Amino acid sequence: MGHRVPSVIPIPLRNDITQNRANQPESGQATISGNLLTLVRDGNFPSRQNPATIHLLSLLPSEPEALGMLSYYFNHLDYQYHLIVAHRTERDILTIYESVSNSQPINPGHLALLFSIIASAIFYQLLPTEPVDIADRCSGEAAFLAGAALIQANYIAYPTLEGLQATMIISHHLSCLTFSPTISPFFIHGSLINQAQSLGLHVLDSASQIEERKANGYDRAEVELKRRLWWDLASYDWYVPPFNEVSITY
């Protein structure tokens, strides 16, 4: 309860609070930083820290590294589910680094999306050369950082499209069995459906929504992306039951 930002607080103030949390390590807690592979090899695991207070920016890779991860993800993994639109995600990632350099607040949803891409990409990048447990651990640590970004954004109460992309990327490309229990509930399929429903994806093209879009204008790409994500979740749901379970989408 102590760390939860009440939902009645106005969004700008809430953003300030979550931003301050994201940027400041908890008193008495050592800030860890550096390359994930090096940290894991040294036994220095970010997941041993409190996800609500861990200093995420100190674990941000350099901008070229982040774009390299995005490129790997898009060219080698995204084709399986197509959960991102590359130029929009690249823009989100660049915004993170611009904000860092300008000491501006960072959108934690963008941060979660970046860490989710790193989690998936690093796993498959390391597999050919590293033991599976090292690849698994590095990827799990990046997934932890994605989950920590979502926790610091109070994502369940205030879901975002980028946050949903982040949880779907991790859930679809990685096994969540070894994830820290503090963040693993984000990536369970039932939770993904709830997150999507919280964003109204299941009624995206209802008459009232269409009217609202006509009246107020809308981001065409965002609406189309939401349709893609919803139908991906629906098809994933229909695939998963082994011909003998009840689907949960309807």
Partner 1 sequence: MNVWRPLNIEDDDIETCDTAQPMSDPTCMSYAHHRLRLAEVCRQIVDQIGPEHLQGADVPYEKILDLDRKLHSAHAELPVFFRYDQHSRREFSELYRERPMLAWQRAFIQQGYHSRLCRLHRQYFVRGARDPRYSYSHVVSLQSARKVLEVKRIMDEEEPLFAPNSSFFWAVMHHVFMAAVTLLIDVCFNWDDILAEKRKEEVLEACRMLSRAQQTSSIAREGINAMMGILRKHWKQERQLPPLQESMNPEAAFYSSIFPVPSGMQAAKSLYVSSEQDLSAPTHSFDSANPAADIPLEDLWSEMLNNSAHSGLNTPEWMDMLTELNNTTGICE
**48 lies in the binding site for partner 1 (CB under 8 A):** no
Q: Does 81 bind partner 1 (CB under 8 A)?
A: yes
Cβ proximity to partner 1: between 104 and 247 the closer is 247
Q: Answer whether 167's CB lies under 8 Å from 183's CB.
A: no
Interaction mask 171-190, partner 1, x per CB under 8 A: ----x---------------
Work out whether 82 is an interface residue with partner 1 (CB under 8 A): yes
> Would you say 13 or 218 has its CB closer to partner 1?
218
Cβ distance to partner 1 smaller for residue 13 or 188: 188
Taking CB under 8 A as the binding criterion, the range among 26-34, 41-49, 72-80, 148-156 that sits at the site for partner 1 is 72-80
Q: Is 79 helix (H, G, I), strand (E, B) or coil?
A: helix
Stretch that binds partner 1, among 46-54, 76-84, 139-147, 180-188 (CB under 8 A): 76-84
Residues 52 and 54: their CA atoms lie apart, in Å, by: 6
Long-range contacts of 90-95 (CB under 8 A, 24+ apart): 92/162, 93/63, 93/66, 93/67, 94/63
| DSSP conformation class of 158 | S
Whole-angstrom CA distances from 241 to 39, 57, 154, 168, 244 are 38, 39, 31, 18, 6
The smaller minimum CB distance to partner 1, of residues 23 and 228, is found at 228
The Cβ of residue 30 has, within 10 Å, a number of other Cβ atoms equal to: 10
**Is 203 one of the binding residues for partner 1 (CB under 8 A)?**
yes
State the Cα–Cα distance between residues 199 and 134, nearest whole angstrom: 35
Residue 131 makes contact with partner 1 by CB under 8 A: yes
Among 89, 17, 8, 104, CA closest to 53: 17
Q: Which of residues 84-113 bind partner 1 (CB under 8 A)?
A: 85-87
Q: Which residues bind partner 1 (CB under 8 A)?
A: 76, 79-82, 85-87, 124, 127-128, 131-132, 175, 201-206, 220-221, 224-225, 227-228, 230-232, 234-236, 238-247, 249-250
